[in-house]
Structure 1
Amino acid sequence: MIDSLEAVLIKNGILTAFLFVGVLVWFSYWFSNKFTRGHLHGSAIAITLGLVIAYFSGLITDGSKGIADFPLFAGVAVLGGAMFRDFAIVATAYGADIDEIKHAGLAGVVSIILGVVLSFVVGAVVAVGFGYTDAVSISTIGAGAATYIVGPVTGTALGASSEVIALSVAAGLVKSVLVMVGTPFVASSIGLNNPQSAMVYGGLMGTTSGVAGGLAATDPKLVPYGAMTATFYTGVGCLLAPSVLFLIVRVLFPD
């Protein structure tokens, strides 16, 4: 019985991967609501668990694809590959209405561009501080400091190594968790109590899951406004990081 079930799951690898990720996400959101009252967003928990599972799977199998090195979960490599990643990004972009960002005014637009550039610069400085000297690695890690989506997109476009792309994801995850946890504590001191300030905050921070989780813990009514500019932030980051910002880094750090 067990052998037959295992054979079916292996044969239908992509469906097994969807099932595995679905259960992981369900557990993460359950854990978030049950033990953190939503202060730590379910998406951040899911991403953290995914990284932990990938790490220990690599130790067990001595492989390079995380849990996908187990035949039963081979479909996770496809589900987590570039095709589905890019599909998710495009789907997110189609869900955004360009007219909506006009409601944020000039401050919202400026906050998005400023947020992307500042995050990129901070990430790039950290990368240089840890000994990276090539423009591709510096740009990829800098993009990861923007969000854990912009990092892999930039790294793939520039041909960065898998290790550097993983670091960019880790940088974005750390930022997401910090924004998520820290937002309720700084909200009152920065005037984060109205839709306009929420849109500017979302544009500056950029990490959609972090902003959504942080605003949900602050005032759930602010979530749509912050998430709106944070979503555009991801698109702008994917546009600027592997092009304009990379070219600037390459001038400063020629190969």
Structure 2
Amino acid sequence: MILSVASGKGGTGKTTVATNLAALLKEAQFIDCDVEGPNAHIFLKPSITSSSEVSIKIPEIIEERCTHCGRCADFCSFNALAVTKNGVMLFEELCRGCGGCSLVCPEGAVEERNRVLGVVEEGIFERGRFLHGKLTPGEPFASPIIRELKRRIDRNADPVIIDSPPGVACPMINSVSESDFVLLVTEPTPFGLFDLSLAVSVLRELEIPMGVVINKADEGRVIEDFCKKEGIPVLLKIPFSRDIAELYSRGELLVKEERWKERFEALLKSIWSLV
């Protein structure tokens, strides 16, 4: 089973929920796909055993062969190539690595080289395998690293917990696709409600069952009213508490305290019953 923990916006407590669930399981694989700001390792404290670069292929123009016909630039939907009378300009940060420019070049003047986007690190935490990705600062494309993380999932191991990137763009969709269940973590604010509604729309399009965790739940009922209207189960409510904030700031898990251990165990049982 693959359980993804996602959110429509950042800062809702997504990683807090994901790591505390992982800590309760007897065995688990934990995949931190929030590659622009991975922080699950702060709470699960894995021992990292390997690190490898993730790259894409980008074009390298061989000027001796190039006739400046412009077919490569015409093909590129992302405007990563521009052909001028003085040569071909490549904007590396815009290239998605599709390889189309090399296919359409009639002169064979487009070769390819690797562009490193970041790294994938793998290790062991108390409950099993741990993987996370780190996107190089300034790089705009997280999806290749997320795809590499998911490629490394051991499909024979169960369960897998994925900490998804926030939002509803390509990184989030790449992360939650193929999940058996998605837990959406939100907060009772206008932004929280709006972004939750977007995430719900995405998951319905992907036909993935879902439930909701409300963080700072004592700040209003706007999320509960929305979930009731949409027929989405609210599986856990976390209060707006200084004690929780202090635990988080120290990189400590909530489930080390018995009262939170019981609540997260109940959350796990609710998820299993819905899958």
Is TM-score (shorter-chain normalized) higher than 0.5? no
Q: Which has the larger radius of gyration?
A: 2
TM-score (norm 2): 0.24
More helix by share: 1
Which protein, 1 or 2, shows the higher relative CO under an 8 Å CA cutoff with sep ≥ 6?
Answer: 2
TM-score (norm 1): 0.25
